[in-house]
Amino acid sequence: MPIEETGSLNFLPTSGGQFSFVDELGFEVFYADGHTEKQMLPVISHKGQKIAFAGDLIPTAGHVPLPYVMGYDVRPLTTLKEKDLFLNYAADNNVLLLLEHDSVNEVVSLKRTEKGVRVNQTLKCDEIF
């Protein structure tokens, strides 16, 4: 309550779906419940390019193929559905993925293939920021 009373706490509006668009702040949020409940993946625009923090939904480039989910996801079947939706959104909208858990690949672009969405190109953060 004290944080809310100071005006420092702001709740994001939700539309009841996987995405919340926060136009006044200039970003989108993708909600995912498969890995851990209420995970939020922000999608920002920077210099005309959308960049998504892939979090634990897609922790490394090796996790981009749809069936590769972490063994300790709380709801792996939900993760598969969420990943499918998120990867297709990212591929369709040229969204780069920032991979926080990948020790080699910092950022990846995606492409559609006959086997589904796959990594197209790997980038370093300093190439996009």
Query: The whole model's pTM is what?
Result: 0.86
pLDDT value of position 15: 63
Q: What is the DSSP letter of 54?
A: -
Tokens of 128: 């996009």
Q: Count how many domains the chain has.
A: 1
Buried b (16+ CB within 10 A) or exposed e, 16-46: eebebeeeeeebbbbbbbbbeeebebbbeee
Percentage with pLDDT > 70 across the chain: 91
Confidence band, pLDDT 50/70/90 cuts, at residue 4: confident
| Model confidence pLDDT, tens digit, residues 47-88 | 889 999 999 999 999 999 999 998 888 999 999 999 999 999
Check: CB of residue 9 under 8 Å from CB of residue 50: no
The CATH number covering residue 26 comes to 3.60.15.10
pLDDT exceeds 90 at position 38: no
Interior CA angle at 107 toward 76 and 31, to 5°? Answer: 40
Domain span at 28: 2-128
CA 69 to chain centre: 14
Whether the predicted pLDDT of 22 surpasses 70: no
